[in-house]
Amino acid sequence: MAFNGHGVWAIYRFEMARTFRTLWQSIITPVVTTALYFVVFGSAIGSRMGGVSEVPYGAFIVPGLIMLSLFTNSIFNGSFGIYFPKFTGTIYELLSAPISPLETVLAYVGAAATKSVILGLVILATAALFVPLQILHPFWMLAFLILISATFSLFGFIIGVWAQSFEQLNFIPMLVVTPLTFLGGAFYSIDMLPPAWQTVSLFNPVVYLISGFRWAFFGVGDVPVAISLGATLIFFFVLLAFVGWIFRTGWRLKN
């Protein structure tokens, strides 16, 4: 079957239009919340602290704050996009439409990732108003931003398929992902922890994502950048394989 570009574009355009209809919730609220983090941690606390890995603390937390918003918003956008058709019953129209599972995922995950990349760039521009920023590796910064957005949008897609209520949509982002982000070096380097806790932190997958993104800014990270990139790619392809299994079996799509 030929690639159904029209179908992909129709779903993608619909999902992007929903963002602009809820602009306050989708963009403005996360930016305002992140700006408050900069005021509290970057200005109030950061001015009383020394640098971390020779990076001023206010600048050091910028990648972590971007990732904090990116994780939660990618998951929310990815999960709500597919959950809403399930909730309204229009999922059967989608499943019977002449569009392949790959094209469906490409449309929903692509739209969710696009929103997250836009949000990340807006937060980055906002951060530049509070602290002086220098991005040593802009190409890798953008590459990590896109890859992590796509990965967590894919994760959100899976959550949207799994969830059977709006409460379940928020369960994993709020009770799993957000704590892992705070414990994953968003506001500190794991080198500041006691040796035993450094070892424990290495079992947190979020550490590798934040570390790679921070390396793109400052050239320093908690783990080598190759390991960060490899861990992100593994996470992405594992999730992609799981989505393929969902469509092969119809798990939670048809009930």
List the domain boundaries for the chain. Answer: 5-249
Determine the average pLDDT of the residues in 149-165. Answer: 94
Residue of 192, 55, 205, 65 lying closest to 125 (CA atoms): 65
Reference 66, options 143, 16, 126; nearest CA is: 126
Q: Could you write out the three-class secondary structure of the chain?
A: CCCCHHHHHHHHHHHHHHHHHCHHHHHHHHHHHHHHHHHHHHHHHHHHCCCECCECHHHHCHHHHHHHHHHHHHHHHHHHHHHHHHHHCCHHHHHHCCCCHHHHHHHHHHHHHHHHHHHHHHHHHHHCCCCCCCCCCHHHHHHHHHHHHHHHHHHHHHHHHHCCCHHHHHHHHHHHHHHHHHCCCCCCCHHHCCHHHHHHHCCCHHHHHHHHHHHHHHCCCCCCHHHHHHHHHHHHHHHHHHHHHHHHHCCCCCC
Could you report the per-residue pLDDT of 62-84, keeping only the tens digit for each?
999 999 999 999 999 999 999 98
> pLDDT digits over 179-223, tens only?
999 889 998 899 888 999 999 999 999 999 999 999 999 999 999
Do 57 and 45 contact (CB within 8 A), yes or no? yes
Q: How many CA atoms lie within 13 A of 155 on its CB side?
A: 22
Q: What is the pLDDT of residues 28-60, one digit of tens each?
A: 888 888 778 777 776 666 666 667 778 888 889
- Tens digit of each residue's pLDDT (9 = 90 or more) over 103-140: 999 999 999 999 999 999 999 998 888 888 889 999 99
Task: Scan for tokens 């994993």, then name that residue.
Answer: 172
List all residues 6 or more positions away from 56 whose beta carbon is below 8 Å from its beta carbon. Answer: 46, 131, 132
Instruction: Please give the model's pTM, rounded to 2 decimal places.
Output: 0.92
Report pLDDT for 64. Answer: 92
